[in-house]
Structure 1
Amino acid sequence: MEEQLEQAVEIALNSNADYNLKQQAISFCNQIKDSPNGWQICIALFVSQPKRSTSVRFFALQVVDDALVKRLNGNEDLLDHNALNYIKGVLLSYLQREFNPQITGDSDAPYMENKLSQTVTYLFALTYLQSWPSFYDDILALSSIDGPLLSNSRGLLFFLRVLNSQHEEIADTLIRRSEGTAQRGIALKDAIRARDMTKLTNIWREILLRWGSREDGLVINESCLKVIGSWISWIDISLIVTPEYMNIIFSSLGNEPLRKSACDTLTEIVSKKMKPVDKLQLISLFNLPEVISQLPVGRDLEFDEKVARLSNAVSLDLVKIQDDQTNTGVRETASHLCQQILPFSISFLGNEYDDTASEVFPAISEYLSFLRKEKKRNNFLTPDRLALLTSILKTVVLKLKYDETMDFQNGSDESEAEFLEIRSRLRLFQDAIAAIDVDLFMDTVSGVVLDSLDGTKRDWREIELGLYELNAFIDGLRNASAMPSKSNPATKAVEILNTMLLKMISSNILSLNHPAINLFYLELIVKPTKFLDSNPQLIPQILNTFVSAVGIHSSFLHVQLRSWFLFYRFIKLNKLLIGDISETALTAISDLLVITAEIPQSNDNDSDVSTDSGSSNFEGRLYLFEVSGLLISIDAVSDEKQLVLLKNILNPIFADMERNLPRALEDPLSALQVHHDIMALGTFARGVADGGKTVNEQVREQFLLAGRAILVTLETLSRLDIVREASRFAFARMVPILEYHILPEIPTLVSRLLVESSTSELIDFMSFLGQLVHNFKDQPGMFDMVNSLLGPLLTRIYYSLSISANGSTDEEIRQTDMKKAYLSFMLNLLNNGMGSVLVSRDNRQMLDSVIQSVAHYSSTTDDSSIKKMGSSIFPRLEEIRSRAL
């Protein structure tokens, strides 16, 4: 059987084996694994001589482990007491043979010994409490085979591997465990502490003493230090924190090969939970500020990270003690130690390597939180704490700068993305400092900004840092009015901000033509909404910048796309200040008002076209159409000029729709082009409506033509959902311009939209109609319009609601949303005096269906909003019916 299993494992792991034969081999291996005696076959296979192949033996251990784990999980039928004793005897015999230096043979690879240590750990968990109290003595004996105790390096290393494995099994807090497993771990730890802990800690100390100076003892010492560092969290710390023990650990810090492991161990010792007074005594006893100051940082990146982690652990504990303790003496002692250790954490915060800097983020965050509470309690900070706060801010600012090895890729490069992530976390520190001391924040940041704009800086990284900090300053203004300040914080902040913005606009930083600088410049022009109110003379200069190669005509695609939106925001926010230069601005962007649909390569063979096709470019261009509407609708533009400019924009769109309409059903690109044209019409209309100029009859007539063009398009392309979606969008945006003049067109729109509409489209369309009813309820044509379209609309709604959700969660959500939209539409009719349309000659036969549907939907749902609307609608419908009888 062993030979068959060996052969099956080899075939199963052979990538070149015949597929059918391989499947048979896998099936046979699984049968052995699942059989009641499979573990017996496998343990014999594992220990047999001569050794089988590594892959076969690894599989064999997996089967034994599986049986042991099942026993740990409560399956007592698979392994009884005798079976466990058998496995124990076989493994001990194997271990004594394997680690005997007198027996020649190939040693197992480290991963095999790790696997074996895991098996021994499972066996330990099953037997230590009842039948194997001598476990540690028996495993430690491997270190004395053919020599004195601790002399056999391979046996000793395996002993340490088992201890590390045991910690992971019963004590590692990062591993989630079931209640039963956790309770077993507690029982095992209690037993270890009672029976063997003193002995084990003495052995660890002896290992470090004996092997610390040996050239061949590095791995053993590293493993031993790792054991101490992991076990310290759940053992009596007094067993480790003794003069002799700590001298060994501190001397290991001075041993270059061991100092990383020693630093980790010291960090774990310091991090052990204990009473505040005891923790202070521990930190003072170790004189950790002095210890850290003498460590050789700056030579080894990995070691620097470990020292930073140690510094963070000490700082974090000291800050928490200051924050939590009411005992004045304890707080003062913690504060004194904190003043000594935090400078090291701040130094690591500014480390050029982000992994090292990140190690101290928890301590810095905790300290800033503590200072904020202290400032709130006392309304001031002591000079030493203010000095630390200042140091943190200066360090953060320097750390925010792009590294010299890094170039601006707008976050697309992996290393830059990692830097931007770190930068966002550092920014939180800076924002926290602004909330603690707004004067410190404003003075420091403004100094960085003004220095970067002094005209001598030609390194884009320095300028970008200044602009980044200017952006942070604007965001930080919200803290200025909330925090105490020596001066009026809001007034001071506005004065500083205006100074910095004026310096930026008058500087020559755009001459570098760097995408990061250009983009930040435009962002910052738009962000402070009140700046240009007091500096309107800057509008022409800023407009010229926006329409130049720096902005909307940039050769950097991501800058160009973003600047289209920023230009829209700039015009929208400052439309009252634009005045008679609006036509100049419109002329400057006219070359970009060209709609060109693009279908991504992946959609070339698709019959359906998504509105997402080429979306980033097209959606950005829509902002330019909205800007155009704003620019031609500013009061400074005469009616005659507005009409000319309006036609210059609308007529090319009409012509493009007419050109593409005949082939849109067969050509996806033409269909997408028509969709884009209609979306441009709607977006342009929104800009015209928001421009501020009163809409005259000539403008309204042009948009009536646009609405009719859309209806003609719908007549041909109503089965295309992207055209229906664009048509709803455009009509909704033209309502503020057309007002009640749009009502005669709505029945035609409804008839063409309802033919193919989906549930989500119906929901959107009911909302649109409800808004029309609310806006124009007093117009003479409104009743007739609602009366004519109600029947077809209700028929389509009931059909959609009659379709089963078929168990689909998404479909059930859509059905619920549909019911809400339907009831909301009915409530809208009633609230706006349109209830009589339900008993008109055209619709009275549907009244009973409406009443029944409202009663049904509100009584068969758990949704409270549907129930509430139904309870409001139902009695009013009954009243309408009773009056009509």
Structure 2
Amino acid sequence: MTSSALQGLAALAIAPTAESQNMAAQFVEQLKQSVDGWKICAEGFTSGTYHQNDHVKFFCLQVCEHYAKTSYRHASAEDVNAMKSFILTCIGMESNEGSQSKTFIRNKLAQVASLVFVGDFPQRWPQFFHDLMGQLASGALAVDMYLRILLSVQLEVVDRDISHSPEEMQRNTLLKDAMREMCVSELADSWHQIMTTYETSHPDIVNMCLEVVGGYVSWMDIGFFANDRMVALLLRFLVKEELREAACDTVHDIVSKGMEPVAKTSLIESFMGLLESAGIFNCNDDDVDFLCKLSKLINGMGLGLITSRQRLGSKGSAKNIEVTMQALEAKIPHMLRFLGNEDDDVSSGVIDFASEYIAMMKSQPSMSEVQKNHIEGLLVTIIKKLKYDESYNFEKEGEEEAEFQEYRKRARVIFNNMASLDCQMILRQVHGLVSHTLPQWKNADFRDVEVAIALIYNLGEAIPASQGQHFSGNPEKASALQDMMRLLITSQVSRQGHIAVLLQFFETVIRYDKFFVCEPEHIPEVLTAFLDERGLRNCSAKVRSRVAYLFLRFVKSTKGNLTPYLEEVLKQMQELLIINSPLNGLGHGLSDTDQLFLYETASTLVVSCSLEPEKKQVLMKQLLTPIASKFGTMLARLSEEQDEKTQQAYADCVNNSMSLASRASKGFSGTQTMRACGCVSVFTELLSIFLSALEVTTPQRALLQQGVRQYLHRMVVCLDEEILPFLPQAMEKLLKQPDAKELYDFLPLVNQIVMKFKDGINPFLSQVFMPLVMTIHQVLSAPVDANDRVSAEDKKMLQRGYFLFLSTIVCNCLDVLKVQEMQNLNQVLMSLIHGAVEIPDPNSQKSCFATLKKLIQSWGGKDALPGFPEFIYKEIVPACFAAPMKPTFDLSDGQTTLTLGEAASCMVEIFQQRGQEFVGFLRTDFFPSKGMSEENALVYIQNMQTPLKSFRKWLKRFFMEAKS
């Protein structure tokens, strides 16, 4: 194979087309599966033939990597020597100053070498590291390769972020033990030698070596790192611009090493003393990248000291605890400095430290004055960091804005935790800030104003009402939060105008809706804000849209106090309720979705007010009559229009009109019903008008049908028998030449009607039942293009919908089936059998078996429906066996197992209804006809009489054995 394989490698080198590249990739897969494929690739890599083709070299290394991962551990002595020779030859090639390999080639070679190490060290290649170090004298490229291999070994053996199996973890432990015993001292010496040799000439190599040191420190003895020569190097590097970031990461890794608490505190303090003496923390705040590293270092030190304090617990000596706490407290000023840095990346670096410090303080019985000062300083810093950056784009938020919002969430978590630590301090500080800022909002930066309001908002989460009464009707007992809410409204800060301030104002008003129960005199001002240029008439679409939703929430929460303002509010809303259409454009700037909220809001105002039903009817009619008048005009224009784009615009308007009316119906409730409010006629008149949309034959017919169905759904919820006269006409029009999707969308409406009215609509349902069934069967049997996946999926969904419809009928209006002609009833029953057995859709099958079980329960007992017991024995019982034996019935699938459970339920239900008659049928008729032995038949019958859960489990094993 060698000759042809080398030719194949040559083909890889000239694979310009997608087809030839695909063939080349297939060839590589063949090499991976070949016993000697790796040797061919090793020869190809080291021969020098393809030294200028990284594509081929990478493929060669991939094959070698595959072998090292899968088969190398079982290699013969000959192959082990061949692999060792290959690795050393490759390293020698890559160490040659003339090597021009790309970084990804060197990384892949390092990965292969690390896999060989895992397989060989220490038994088959005890000199692995010694042989690698033997190459170091070759120069910088050799050192680079050596470090890359060490990093790859670290990833394979040490890195805790990579999940390993228990076997791999045991292997890695043995490898580290062997390295500790055989070579760690030499490794540490090599690192020191590398860093001192290349400190000036190759800072990239020194940086990589520092990364290696940081990777190995977690499991090597601390003495290799916390010694005079290493610390001296690190301190020297920390003042060199090209090395200090990597050096800082290495110091972080050293101080983060797992150790006993006293030793850990001592290590951190020794490093901290040296760093402070060297002035490392006095760096320029403009160097953000290095500040991020320093922030991470302080974070690691802080977390390490907190862990040490926790591990000392109450059993540690008082002296050790005191030393650890003093060391921790000394880090807080550094933490506050980095947390308060303008750059959020720097600030984020110490957020974990801040969070854990607060958590630790919460576990303490009390705080010292120093600690209280630290917490207050932390609060001041967090408040500062909650402020928006000057560059924040409020109208077009991008990635940077999303990052800030994520940072702000983390900062709010710290705020909340501080509140649970010292609630009164938080209230005092926030109250002072709010009292200072809001009255002077005209002269303040909008960002300061926004933060003040945001802090009021955050208090609701930080200090839940369960911890104390936020609002009281007694002014003398008013809380600080109540004072702040009063100031928020009376200060007129909502007129500041900036989008961020406005949005935070409205969000805060909604969060504290209970405030307006205690002080309802402030409601008019807030209503005005919602309705004027601050809210729904704001020039920002973002503000308008959010306010439309929040206004609905405000009205719902304060509706008991809104009757005095009802007519004025509706008057103010009137122009905002004008429906968008091709005739009037978008004059008020609200989207269709915004208007949905407004119509529900207006309806809620009318329904909840303390007026007589007659007055409510008048107001509701004023709200909805414009919809009726515009609907007819738009529908007529749609029918007359020839241009498809304009047709679509009119159709959207017609559909939106129905959606708005549907949304208005949500203003009613279980107590304030449509009938109690005198509004039945308003909505039924609209229904009569909307039904005319079903006559439209333009391409937008489906959209209009959707609007009518939506409205009908709402009317079924809100009306009682008042809707029944409209159902025949609606059903007739909705079922006029429907396609599969239209039918599927229609069936939930029928189910809703059936479940609400049950036997009350038997006469109507009995008449339309078979026509509906026949229409469904006709649509399902219509041929479709084999490649039309959309139509096929529509049919599948319609089948499911049909079986759910039958289930709904059986569970709610079973008499509808009883009065059908026998031929029609038999057709329906056989469709259930067909669905249970022949349709490879577990959802449909499960539904069919569940419905059959309900029929057995209702018609299969002593007062059985004539002919139904025969149907049970002739059709249902065989179906319970035929379905699980189908090749498409996958017993390993969860949904299919549920279907089998329903089939089991059918068999148990038959036994409960027919008793020994059923047992006799199985023993003397059914099982013999299937060739089942008497012994197996008895086993089945015995299991059928056990608890259903046990029978289901047994039945699954029964069919799995039968199909094997």
CA distance in structure 2 between the aligned counterparts of 1:549 and 1:93, rounded to whole angstroms: 77
Looking at structure 1, the residues matched to 267 and 258 of structure 2 have their Cα atoms a distance apart, in angstroms, of 11
The match for 2:328 among 334, 338, 350 is 338
Q: How much has 1:679 moved relative to structure 2?
A: 1.4
AA aligned to 1:158 is M
2-side partners of 1:491 and 1:697: how far apart?
37
Query: Equivalent of 1:246, from 228, 231, 242?
Result: 231
Give 1:81's match in structure 2, choosing from 77, 90, 109. Answer: 77
Residue 672 (structure 1) aligned with residue 669 (structure 2) = no
- C-alpha separation in 1, matches of 2:833 and 2:108: 67
Match of residue 483 from structure 2: 499
Q: Distance in 1 between matches of 2:412 and 2:347?
A: 14
> Secondary structure in 2 aligned to 1:233?
coil
CA deviation string 1:101-157 (max 9, x = no partner): xxx746655555444444443444444434432232322222335xxxxxx444334
Residue 709 of structure 1 corresponds to which residue in structure 2?
689
Task: Pick the aligned partner of 2:440 from 422, 436, 455.
Answer: 455
1:277 and 1:574, CA in 2 relative to 1: closer, same or farther beyond 3 A? same
Quote the Cα distance in structure 2 between the aligned partners of 1:491 and 1:693.
37
Q: 1:409 to 1:861 in 2, by over 3 A?
A: closer
- Cα distance, 1:733 vs. partner? 2.7
3-state SS in 1 of match to 2:440:
coil
**Residue 436 in structure 1 maps to residue 421 in structure 2:** yes
Match of 2:430, as an amino acid? V
Shift of 1:816: 6.7
Per the TM alignment, residue 466 of structure 1 is displaced from its structure 2 partner at its CA by 1.7
Aligned CA distance change for structure 1 residues 87 and 391 (closer, same or farther; 3 Å): same
Does the CA-based 8 Å contact 1:661-1:670 persist in structure 2?
yes
CA distances 1:714-762 after superposition (whole Å, capped 9, x unpaired): 2446994433332232123335764322222223333434553647535
Q: Give the letter aligned to residue 129 of structure 2.
A: Y
Deviation at 1:499, TM superposition (A): 2.0
Q: Which moved more, 1:248-257 or 1:89-98?
A: 89-98
Match among 537, 540, 543 for residue 559 of structure 1: 543
Q: Which amino acid aligns with 2:183?
A: D
User: Structure 2: which amino acid aligns with 1:669?
Assistant: A
Matched residue type, 1:193? R
Q: How does 1:174-193 map to 2 (within 5 A)?
A: 174-177=161-164, 184-193=171-180
Shift of 1:193: 1.9
Summarize deviations over 1:216-262 as a string: whole Å, max 9, x none.
Answer: 25334323322211111222333333344334434443444433222
* 3-state secondary structure, aligned to 1:295: helix
Mark the CA change 1:649 to 1:723 in structure 2 (over 3 Å): closer, same or farther: same
Partner of 2:925: none
Query: Are positions 1:296 and 2:273 aligned together?
Result: no
**Identity over the aligned pairs, expressed in percent?**
24
Distance 1:653 1:733, change over 3 A: farther
Question: Which of 14, 21, 26 does residue 11 from structure 1 map onto?
Answer: 14
Measure, in 2, the Cα distance between the counterparts of 1:107 and 1:617: 61
Contact 1:546 1:563 in 2 (8 A): yes
CA contact (8 A) 2:665 2:714 kept: yes
Query: Which residue, 53, 60, 64 being the options, matches 2:57?
Result: 60
| Structure 1 residues 178 and 73: alpha-carbon distance in aligned structure 2, compared to 1, 3 A threshold | farther
Distance in 2 (alpha carbons) for counterparts of 1:858 and 1:384 = 74
- Residue 400 of structure 1 and its aligned partner are, at CA, apart by 0.8
> How big is each residue's C-alpha offset from its partner over 1:313-333, in whole Å with a ceiling of 9 and x where there is no partner?
222232234345342435554
Per-residue CA distance 1:603-656 (angstroms, 9 max, x = gap): xxxxxxxxxxxx992222112222333344434483685376246434334423
Determine if contact 1:218/1:258 at 8 Å carries over to the other structure: yes
| Aligned match of 1:408 | 394
Choose the corresponding residue for 1:356, options 335, 346, 354: 346
Q: Which residue of 2 aligns with 1:596?
A: 580
User: After the TM superposition, which residues 777-788 of structure 1 pair with which residues of structure 2 at under 5 Å, given as runs?
Assistant: 782-788=761-767
Structure 2 residue aligned with 1:168: 155
AA matched with 2:650 = S
Aligned 8 A contact 2:50 2:57 in 1: no
Normalization by structure 1: what TM-score? 0.81
- In 1, Cα distance between equivalents of 2:590 and 2:321: 56
Q: Which moved more, 1:585-594 or 1:696-705?
A: 696-705
Match of 1:618 in 2: 592
Separation of aligned partners in 1, 2:721 and 2:617? 24
CA gap 1:118/1:491 in 2 versus in 1, 3 angstroms: farther
Q: 1:854 to 1:63 in 2, by over 3 A?
A: closer
Q: How has the CA–CA distance of structure 1 residues 644 and 408 changed in structure 2, closer, same or farther, with 3 Å as cutoff?
A: closer
Quick check: 1:543 aligned with 2:527? yes
Q: Letter of the 1:85 partner, please give it.
A: N
| C-alpha distance 812-326 of structure 1, shift in aligned 2 (>3 A) | farther
**Code of the aligned partner of 2:157:** I
Q: Determine the C-alpha separation between the residues in 2 that align with 1:535 and 1:795.
A: 63
CA contact (8 A) 1:787 1:843 kept: no
The answer to whether the 8 Å contact 2:68/2:115 transfers is no
Q: 2:857 aligns with which of 872, 875, 881?
A: 875
| Structural RMSD (CA) | 4.6
Give the TM-score of the pair, scaled to structure 2: 0.75
State the Cα deviation string for residues 832-859 of structure 1 (Å, max 9, x = none). Answer: xxx655545x678877788888999999
Aligned with 1:733 (options 706, 710, 714): 714
2:219 to 234, 245, 249: 234
How far residue 37 of structure 1 moved from its aligned partner, in angstroms, is: 5.6
Q: Does 1:142 align with 2:135?
A: yes
Per-residue CA shift, 1:43-97, capped at 9, x if unaligned?
4554456x8653x1563254145224313312679x7533443454465456557
Which residues of structure 1 form unaligned runs of 5+? Answer: 146-151, 599-614, 830-834
Change (3 A) 1:182 1:533: closer
Residue 555 of structure 1: how far off its partner (Å): 1.5
**Unpaired segments of 5 or more residues in structure 2?**
583-588, 784-788, 868-964
Match of 2:906 in 1: none
Question: What secondary structure, in the 3-state scheme, does the structure 1 residue paired with 2:460 have?
Answer: helix
Question: Aligned to 2:146, which of 159, 165, 169?
Answer: 159
Query: Which residue does 1:195 correspond to in 2?
Result: 182
Give the distance between the partners of 2:863 and 2:478, measured in 1 at CA: 64
* Amino acid of the structure 1 residue aligned with 2:415: Q
**Residues 749 and 363 of structure 1: CA distance in aligned 2, closer, same or farther (over 3 Å):** same
1:611-650 maps to which residues of 2 (within 5 A)?
Answer: 617-633=591-607, 634-636=609-611, 638=615, 641-642=618-619, 645-646=622-623, 648-650=625-627
Show the 5 A alignment for 1:721-760. Answer: 721-735=702-716, 738-754=719-735, 756=738, 758=741
What is the CA distance between 1:9 and its match in structure 2? 4.7
Which one-letter code corresponds to 1:70 in the other structure?
A: Y
Q: 2:259 aligns with which of 260, 274, 283?
A: 274
Amino acid at match of 1:364: A
| Partner in structure 2 of residue 132 of structure 1 | 125
Aligned residue pair count: 833
Question: Does the residue aligned with 1:453 lie in a helix, a strand or coil?
Answer: helix
Larger deviation: 181-190 or 347-356? 181-190
CA offset at residue 402 of structure 1?
0.4
The one-letter code sitting in structure 1 at the alignment partner of 2:599 is F
Residues 80/67 of structure 1: CA separation in 2 closer, same or farther (3 Å cut): farther
What is the rounded CA distance, in whole Å, between the counterparts of 1:651 and 1:523 in structure 2? 34
Task: Please give the residue correspondences for 1:374-523 in structure 2 after superposition, counting only pairs within 5 Å.
Answer: 374=363, 378=365, 380-409=366-395, 412-456=397-441, 457-478=443-464, 480-482=465-467, 495-523=479-507
SS at match of 1:402: coil
**2-side partners of 1:72 and 1:647: how far apart?**
72
How much has 1:561 moved relative to structure 2? 1.7
- SS in structure 1 opposite 2:534? coil
- The alpha-carbon deviation at position 562 of structure 1 amounts to 1.8
Corresponding position of 1:327: 315
Q: Distance in 2 between matches of 1:318 and 1:597?
A: 66
How far apart are the structure 1 equivalents of 2:95 and 2:668?
A: 87
Tell me if structure 2 keeps the 8 A contact 1:732–1:768. Answer: yes
Is 2:515 the partner of 1:531? yes
Task: Report what 2:921 is aligned to.
Answer: none
Task: Assess if the C-alpha contact under 8 Å between 1:42 and 1:61 holds in 2.
Answer: no
Q: Alpha carbons of 1:123 and 1:513: their partners in 2 closer, same or farther (altered >3 Å)?
A: same
Does 452-461 or 180-189 show the bigger shift? 180-189
> Aligned in 2, Cα 1:624/1:21: closer, same or farther, shift over 3 Å?
closer
